[in-house]
Amino acid sequence: MPKDQGIGARSKRREDVRFLTGAGRYTDDINVPGQTYAAFVRSEVAHGKITKIDTSDAEKMPGVVKVFTAADFDGKGGVPCGWQIHDRQGNPMLEPKHPILAEGKVRYVGDAIACVVAETLEQARDAAEAVVVDIDELPAVMDMKAAVKGGALVHDELGSNLCYDWGFIEDNKAATDAAFETAHHVTTLELVNNRLIANPMEPRVALGHYNRAMDDYTLYTTSQNPHVIRLLMGAFVLSIPEHKLRVVAPDVGGGFGSKIFHYIEEAFVTHASRLINRPVKWTSTRSEAFLTDAHGRDHVTKIELALDKDGMFQALRTETYANMGAYLSTFAPSVPTYLHGTLMAGNYKTPHIYVNVKAVFTNTVPVDAYRGAGRPEATFQLERVIDKAAREMGIDPIELRRKNFVGADEFPYQTPVAVAYDTGNYQATMDVLEKIADLAGFEKRRADSAKKGLWRGLGVNCYIEACGIAPSNLVGQLGARAGLYESATVRVNATGGIVVMTGSHSHGQGHETAFPQVISEMIGIPESQVEIVHGDTANTPMGMGTYGSRSLAVGGSAMVKATNKIIAKAKKIAAHLLEASDGDIELKDGKFTVAGTDKSVDWGSVCLAAYVPHNYPLAELEPGLEETAFYDPSNFTYPSGAYACEVEVDPDTGKVTVCAFAAADDFGNVINPMIVEGQVHGGLAQGIGQALLEGAVYDENGQLLSGSYMDYAMPRADDVPFYTVDHSCCTPCTHNPLGVKGCGEAGAIGSPPAVVNAVIDALQRAGKTNVTHIDMPLSPSRVWAAIQG
């Protein structure tokens, strides 16, 4: 019988009760007496010199409190970048200032020029329209390859649009090139990883509240990592010491990466609130979200794979242009480098790998992490080029992958791109996939599709990801300007209930349900006795937040460490109460027992003794039962999997229908299978969305053409099939106490190549052998055009 409590139970997500009944408390639900409203004046051109800002008419409009321009932020810093890359020569990347309000120049459509703060939102918006801005338009820098050759500069003072030219690992280059010289076969593929917009259901909101009486600040914001925002904004932008700045990220309606970053609007409302001594709220419209939320992906890549005559991979070489947008968003430089180059080995034993990435400034909104962040880009190009190689060499694509897998007995496996995989079993994962996807039955299904006049195709691929980032000392060497540990305080109350204050943040991941399952398992008390608190720097220990599928692997591990401290102390209290040695005390099912006897005391009595210490070893032990732990992982975790997608292509229209999708994942140990399946389902929907539907499109002047849901196609329920997911192949992580690996991004990382491989397969099987690649999104028009040749 399946468990109904603890690790492995399919506990229902307790947070969903409030989310589904409209009782969630999001940032925009928070209102402070005296609150004012902000409306930004944003650039309508992608690139230009500001020649005039006239706020005089706007200032006279009803309800206007103040109209802000860059002058109001004199002496304040720009929004900082949290990761510094060094280029092939060892020089630091070019790093422009990102001012809160534009200083002299606008650099993308949506760049904030001025901001009106008024008594009501409507008054603020009306007055924002009355701000007169004259801009001398400059040529928009849009094409990455052209931008690095010359022409207009996004940042004149930098002298180049090339942020960095990164080689990884530079010492591998000569051996990699040499391997290509002697290779039996080389497969080359040029592709685009399409630019995406995260589109969380809740747009961004920021509410700044300066309290003159206390001379302190509170910022309520839609963030995945309130402590990071407090550190970046306090230390680098507004010079507010952390003890005078509280950042609250309450219920957050999805982030997918786009709410990791420190945005200018957060610094604006915080500082503006001090200048006018009133709270200031900004709520993004959906249009503003399209224009100003950091976008994702946007890589242009050439990848080459060298193979010997038996299909063994000899070497891999890539050249990628990565769009940074107009400014460096918080973690932007890390995405195409250390979150991308380190994954290029995939699940395979390729001896020589060299990755070159050129990061380029353009007149577009900044690009940063989006679900997967670098790893989907790595997986897509690798798994596409392997598929193409299989076709060119006449080897079955699954067979070619199996030949080159890192073997189950070869872990830990040191890749040529710095990282060392601790565990995995790629053959076993592929075995699971072949079974759950019923690959043996494909030919029959293909014949059935053909009867309907449809071309069926099968696409298979593998993925590996690096999650739970990571050892702080390592990421420091790689350029991170932060540590990447996580924290937890476990507070046991006098009557036995537990509150866990975690530095990670839940914005859809289900921490409030999964974290108590771990505590329940460890102590043997019902999950309902454990509550999770997160998202407020005032009552949680310093933590780095939630992204990179790190919450359970890193935050959960911190919680386990703190809980172990609690258990150790509770055993001492129990030993005192039972007049035994604490070494003889066993904790099981919420009861402390002297080993080998029937003498026991329950959890609640021990907790009460800790806070009402009448009968208590006060000379040796402090009262109370509360512990804090910080956990810094010793390595990344490496979830992996094998995915299969079946599509039907309508040859008359080019329309692709995803008929079936199977995902076999190895996430290590699983705390709540239902939450894991939900995470995979969501990731798959986003990956299928990227493959077939989504694409952020700017025109040559830098106007965002896909600026609403009329033109940016999100996946809908009828665009995705019923998924078959399985995580029974389990090789636990060896270096965290839960043995977990992380599952938040896998679906989005592993699915785009499966979809594209399937469409190419359908076309190839139908005789369109000249079609070897179609760039995403595989819209009907692109597929139809490919069919026409």
Partner 1 sequence: MQLTDHRDIAAPPATVWAAILDPKVLMACIPGCESMTGSPEEGFEAVVVQKVGPVKAKFTGAVQLSDMVPEQGLTITGEGKGGAAGFAKGGAKVEMAPEGDGTRLTYTVDASVGGKLAQLGSRIIDGFAKKMADQFFENFKNALEPPAPEDDAGEAEEGEKKGWFRRTFGG
**Interaction site with partner 1 (CB under 8 A):** 44-45, 109, 125, 129, 287, 290-291, 699, 701, 703-705, 707-708, 710-711
Nearer to partner 1, 32 or 713 (CB): 713
CB of 268 to partner 1, least distance (A): 20
Nearer to partner 1, 109 or 525 (CB): 109
CB of 708 to partner 1, least distance (A): 5
Q: Is 531 left (phi over 0), alpha (psi -120 to 50) or beta?
A: beta
Task: Find all residues with CB under 8 Å of 568, minimum gap 6, and list them.
Answer: none
Report which of 53, 155, 151, 162 is spatially closest to residue 99, judged by C-alpha positions.
155
Tell the burial category of 687 from Cβ atoms under 10 Å away from its Cβ (0-12, 13-18, 19+).
Answer: buried
User: Which residue is associated with the tokens 């509410």?
Assistant: 207
Nearer to partner 1, 109 or 306 (CB): 109
CB of 236 to partner 1, least distance (A): 31
Nearer to partner 1, 64 or 385 (CB): 64
- Residue 667 · residue 639 · CB < 8 Å: yes
Residue 398's Cα: distance from chain center in Å?
29
CB of 131 to partner 1, least distance (A): 11
Report which of 326, 313, 475, 469 is spatially closest to residue 402, judged by C-alpha positions.
313
CB of 287 to partner 1, least distance (A): 6
- Which amino acid, one-letter code, is at 118? A
Nearer to partner 1, 171 or 699 (CB): 699
CB of 423 to partner 1, least distance (A): 47
CB of 122 to partner 1, least distance (A): 12
CB of 133 to partner 1, least distance (A): 10
CB of 276 to partner 1, least distance (A): 24
Nearest 5°: phi and psi at 227? Answer: -65, -35
Nearer to partner 1, 612 or 705 (CB): 705
Cα–Cα distance between 273 and 269 in angstroms, integer?
6
- Residue 413 · residue 406 · CB < 8 Å: yes
Nearer to partner 1, 234 or 707 (CB): 707
Nearer to partner 1, 44 or 143 (CB): 44
What is the C-alpha end-to-end distance of the chain, expressed in Å? 57
Nearer to partner 1, 326 or 492 (CB): 326
User: Which residue is associated with the tokens 């929004």?
Assistant: 79
CB of 68 to partner 1, least distance (A): 19
Task: Find all residues with CB under 8 Å of 718, minimum gap 6, and list them.
Answer: none
CB of 154 to partner 1, least distance (A): 18
CB of 710 to partner 1, least distance (A): 7
Nearer to partner 1, 414 or 708 (CB): 708
Task: Find all residues with CB under 8 Å of 107, minimum gap 6, and list them.
Answer: 43, 46, 47, 154, 155, 326, 327, 363
CB of 129 to partner 1, least distance (A): 5
Cα–Cα distance between 557 and 661 in angstroms, integer?
32
Nearer to partner 1, 109 or 501 (CB): 109
Cα–Cα distance between 781 and 778 in angstroms, integer?
8
Q: Token digits for 36?
A: 């004012």
CB of 53 to partner 1, least distance (A): 15
Nearer to partner 1, 440 or 710 (CB): 710
Print burial letters for 358-369: b (CB count within 10 Å at least 16), e (below 16).
Answer: bbbbbbbbbbbb
Nearer to partner 1, 43 or 356 (CB): 43
Nearer to partner 1, 125 or 765 (CB): 125
Nearer to partner 1, 140 or 359 (CB): 140
CB of 44 to partner 1, least distance (A): 4
Tell the burial category of 108 from Cβ atoms under 10 Å away from its Cβ (0-12, 13-18, 19+).
Answer: buried
Cα–Cα distance between 416 and 413 in angstroms, integer?
10
Nearer to partner 1, 109 or 163 (CB): 109
Greatest Cα pair distance, the chain, in angstroms, is: 86
Give the relative orientation of helices 746-765 and 780-788 as an angle to the nearest 10 degrees.
30
Q: Is 617 left (phi over 0), alpha (psi -120 to 50) or beta?
A: beta
Number of helical H runs and strand E runs in the chain? 19, 30
CB of 327 to partner 1, least distance (A): 20
Contacts of residues 234-239 at CB distance under 8 Å and 24 or more positions apart, as own/partner, are 236/77, 236/79, 236/80, 237/76, 237/77, 237/78, 237/79, 237/80, 237/100, 237/262, 237/267, 238/76, 238/77, 238/267, 238/270, 238/271, 239/76, 239/77
Q: For 500-599, where are the alpha helices, taking DSSP H only? A: 511-523, 557-578
Q: Is 754 left (phi over 0), alpha (psi -120 to 50) or beta?
A: alpha
Q: Is 186 helix (H, G, I), strand (E, B) or coil?
A: strand
